[in-house]
Structure 1
Amino acid sequence: MSFRKLFEFLRELNRNNNKEWMDEHRDEYHEVRDFFIDWLNKMDIRLAGIDPDYSPTTGKQAINRINNNLLFHPDKPVYKDHFGAGLDKEKGKGDFYIHIGINESFVAGGFYRPKKSTLDSIRAAIDYNGDEFKKIINKKTFRQTFEDLLEDDKLKTSPKSYSKDHKHIDLLRNKSFAVMHRFTQKEIQQDDFQEKVIEVYKEMLPFRRYLNNAVTV
């Protein structure tokens, strides 16, 4: 089993996105799912060995359901076009998410559209010591890896209780504090893919630690 087989399965599923087809190919689905779970288990061990604050997360704990939630999103297809998983899972921690799909593949981390109390804590930390955060995200290797913060839904004005002239107003306007690194299917199918994910994890560590400290201290 390989990521090539995983992509092949997802392409076939995307062309036949219905329960009948899935039922006929259930064994194949479990093969690729088990392959990804095994890959996640190996990644879990590697990350626990390099990060003393890492929260062990098995592949079965990490992997997301391939079914879309049609109750809340009835217009979506029955099945997703990707496998997704969250490692380093612990309540209150920012995400470390791995997304392997036929349309896009990436590793992402941080807090994406967090609840108000979490967002308030992050903004308070930036208000107190935003220079440290800017030093992290402006580091040359960080910008080469992630470019900019995700800004899908940024405030047009200043948040409540913060002046529009605040020295870090560009950060305080964010509703998400997350970054992403994209991978091509070719990169994912290469033997060193796990090493590349580890490099991304290491580069993301100071960013996630700053945010995790902001919401727990």
Structure 2
Amino acid sequence: MDFKSLFSFLEKLTKNNSKDWMDAHRDEYEKVRDAYIEWLNNMDIKLAEIDEDYYHTTGKKAINRINNNLLYHPNKPTYKDHFGAGLDKRPKTSDFYIHLGVNECFLAGGFYRPKAEFLKSIRDAIDYNGEVLKEIIEQPQFQKLFGGLMEDEKLKTSPKGFSKDHPHIELLRHKSFAAHRPISRKQVLSKDFDELVIETYQAMLQFRRYLNKAVTV
């Protein structure tokens, strides 16, 4: 795909963020969106080849709406400044998220601020075998690409039902359990971008499997 066109469109949209502008440039938007969906379809096939448990996700199902939800966030612009998509999107589990935007690009997976039910399940899993998650996070490749768990707010004390002396208290205090790899626009535009995406998916696989098992078993 021509990712230059994707970034070019997003830059223009960010400077002219209105329904009138979007309506006037609908053809350009649909051309970029359709090309991105096709790229996602190809990536879906590639990831399925390296992961026997991969959940097939078409580009149309993977891609997020470009409209902001103004009902809940009335102060946000009408449109997002990025294209977001989630592959390996099995219901009620974490997906593999691709974010390509004007201000930032990244690859991520796991649970960002999960609902209470999922958060409790993850903490229960950590209580049972947190050493497994800790070992995954401390692997050299995981540290190299993600630097550990994504930075987010943590509880200042122990979660309800857990002792402050729990051996995995630092993990239990997290409100999000996600891995995040920032990437540059130059990397997205390089001929090796597909390989970078696959490398990141593989490096995150054990982590996501641990979390998915925690919320589904």
* In 2, Cα distance between equivalents of 1:192 and 1:50: 17
* In 2, Cα distance between equivalents of 1:183 and 1:159: 33
* In 2, Cα distance between equivalents of 1:129 and 1:65: 37
How far has the Cα of 1:191 moved from its partner? 1.1
Q: Which runs of 5 or more structure 2 residues have no equivalent in the other structure?
A: none
Residue matched to 1:206:
206
When the two structures are superposed, what TM-score results if normalisation uses the length of structure 2?
0.98
Residue matched to 1:126:
126
Residue matched to 2:75:
75
The alignment status of 1:88 with 2:94, answered yes or no, reads no
Instruction: Detail structure 1 runs of 4+ shifted over 6 Å in the superposition.
Output: none
Residue matched to 2:35:
35
| Structure 2 contact 89–95 (Cα < 8 Å) conserved | yes
| Structure 1 contact 121–215 (Cα < 8 Å) conserved | yes
Over residues 74-123 of structure 1, what are the superposed CA-to-partner deviations in whole Å (9 max), with x where a residue is unaligned?
11111100000011111121121110001000011001111111111111
Q: Which runs of 5 or more structure 1 residues have no equivalent in the other structure?
A: none
| Structure 1 contact 109–204 (Cα < 8 Å) conserved | yes
When the two structures are superposed, what TM-score results if normalisation uses the length of structure 1?
0.98
The alignment status of 1:163 with 2:160, answered yes or no, reads no
Counterparts of 1:97-176 in structure 2, within 5 Å, are 97-176=97-176
Residue matched to 1:17:
17
* In 2, Cα distance between equivalents of 1:92 and 1:18: 34
How many corresponding residue pairs?
217
> Considering only aligned residues, what root-mean-square deviation do their CA atoms show, in Å?
0.9
Matched to 1:150, the amino acid is M
Percent of aligned pairs with the same amino acid:
64
Matched to 1:177, the amino acid is F
* In 2, Cα distance between equivalents of 1:148 and 1:104: 19
* In 1, Cα distance between equivalents of 2:18 and 2:168: 48
The alignment status of 1:188 with 2:211, answered yes or no, reads no
How far has the Cα of 1:216 moved from its partner? 1.4
